[in-house]
Amino acid sequence: MEVRGWKTERMSTISLPDERVDIRGAAWLEQTPQGLLPHRLPQWTQVHYPDAFFHLNVIQPSGVRLRFTTAASSLTLHVAVSRTSVLLPTTTPGLIEASEATAEPAAPERFDVVIDGEFIASSTAPQAGVMVLDFEAGTVVDEPGPITPVTFDLPLVDAPRTVEIWLPYREHVRLVALEADAEIVAPPPVSAPRWVHYGSSISHGAQAASPTGIWPSVAAQAAGVDLVNLGFSGAACLDPFVARAIRDQSADVISLKVGINILNGDTFGRRMFRPLLHGFLDTVREGHPETPIVMVSPIFSPIAETVPGPTSIDPTMPVTVFRTTGKPEDVALGKLHLREMRQIIASVVADRQALGDANLHYVDGLDLYGQTDWPVLPMADLLHPDPPAQRLMGERFAPIARHGD
């Protein structure tokens, strides 16, 4: 047996769950026949989900990572993966044809390895099943793939180090086992401040290159904080059960980035936006009376600055591009565009600060990604920041994630 520094070439295999592997960013770990399935919200919230799409969001493990200590130079994570396929409504002109033609699972997404806070390697699952979301039927059919190895080659070292494997942000990953060519032991306790973030698909990871390239992940790594990412694609609509889930968990900093999904779905208008913001904050404050809370308004979007929602995919375009289908005159009827949303969010924060909430803060989304960023880092689909813009947003938010103001 060759000895290379601290480690030897003996293999270590751990079935999951195991106390030597700390799974961060998940509220509930469901034991399924195929493996351990992370959920980003607690089990009790399931009866509150408005539709199958929300359930799909919750089991997409954005921000979820496995944390352990080893000196291994070779790691293999055994998983069963499902990749999402979306069937769009037949009532949406021009879209069902495209969805039927591309009803294959999404392209493979990256698993990232971070060691002692530094990105080291990435890999993908060689095999996967499919999770079909049928918008018209309102159903999700999950057909996980076979157990498959995701393998990483790491630098040789002389001593054990803390390793994290970040899971893909849109795949459904059932965890089976972790294998290494050196001993795996429990990592040191997490001492970093805990940051709980709530947001939309932009926070979930849409268009990011990898799980560590999502802007909350970038901010968390730069700030040295422990991230819980509650970004839900198309679904950050101030649901009361999400507020209760945030209320009931520990947090040193909380950020709430809201607005764009309410416009996307034309979920509610001016009449309800302000009281629902207050209600969400009231609930979170019940569990966190002194915790810094940062309200973040929407970033720049050229299609929705002065035109209300809803938004949809433009069927006339050969690639995915979003459009706003509301009309400017609808604003007089109480519908919201992004500029008014920013004003309302800022005023809610100001009103609560005036009543004594000194730990509530406001960040204008335009300071994370604004109109002046557009010429340099335009959004290909007009709604979601591309990988360089995701990274820029994370770098800009990092000081706030650390201190909450």
Pick from 187, 218, 244: which residue ends a domain? 187
The verdict on 144 and 201 lying in the same domain is no
Print the domain residue range for 232.
192-405
Spatial distance between the Cα atoms of 397 and 258, rounded to a whole number of angstroms? 15
Query: What pLDDT sits at residue 239?
Result: 98
Pick from 137, 171, 187: which residue ends a domain? 187
Residues counted in the chain: 405
Rounded to two decimals, the pTM is: 0.93
Least confident of 6-20, 71-85, 315-329, 386-400: 6-20
Which stretch of DSSP H or E encloses residue 127? none
Q: What is the CATH number of the domain that holds 311?
A: 3.40.50.1110
Long-range CB pairs of 102-107, under 8 A, 24+ apart, other chains included:
103/132, 104/130, 105/129, 105/130, 105/131, 106/170, 106/171, 107/83
Number of domains comprising the chain = 2
Cα–Cα distances (Å) from 249 to 135, 156, 212, 253, in that order, read 32, 38, 23, 11
The proportion of the chain whose per-residue pLDDT surpasses 70, expressed as a percent, equals 93
Model pLDDT for residues 108-148, shown as the tens digit of each residue: 999 999 998 899 999 999 999 998 887 677 778 888 899 99
Is the pLDDT at 93 greater than 50? The verdict is no
The verdict on 399 and 340 lying in the same domain is yes
Query: What pLDDT sits at residue 149?
Result: 97
Query: What pLDDT sits at residue 389?
Result: 98
Pick from 127, 158, 187: which residue ends a domain? 187
Average pLDDT over residues 57-85: 96
pLDDT interval class at 275 (50, 70, 90) = very high
Computed over every residue of the chain, the mean pLDDT equals 91
Average pLDDT over residues 193-214: 97
The verdict on 88 and 121 lying in the same domain is yes
pLDDT interval class at 298 (50, 70, 90) = very high
Is the pLDDT at 2 greater than 70? The verdict is no
The verdict on 152 and 293 lying in the same domain is no
Is the pLDDT at 394 greater than 70? The verdict is yes
Residue 175 near residue 16 (C-beta atoms within 8 A): yes
Spatial distance between the Cα atoms of 127 and 165, rounded to a whole number of angstroms? 18
The verdict on 181 and 326 lying in the same domain is no
pLDDT interval class at 202 (50, 70, 90) = very high
The proportion of the chain whose per-residue pLDDT surpasses 90, expressed as a percent, equals 82
Query: What pLDDT sits at residue 343?
Result: 98
Query: What pLDDT sits at residue 232?
Result: 97
- Rg (Cα) of the chain, in Å, rounded? 21
Spatial distance between the Cα atoms of 133 and 141, rounded to a whole number of angstroms? 7
Is the pLDDT at 102 greater than 60? The verdict is no
Spatial distance between the Cα atoms of 354 and 350, rounded to a whole number of angstroms? 6
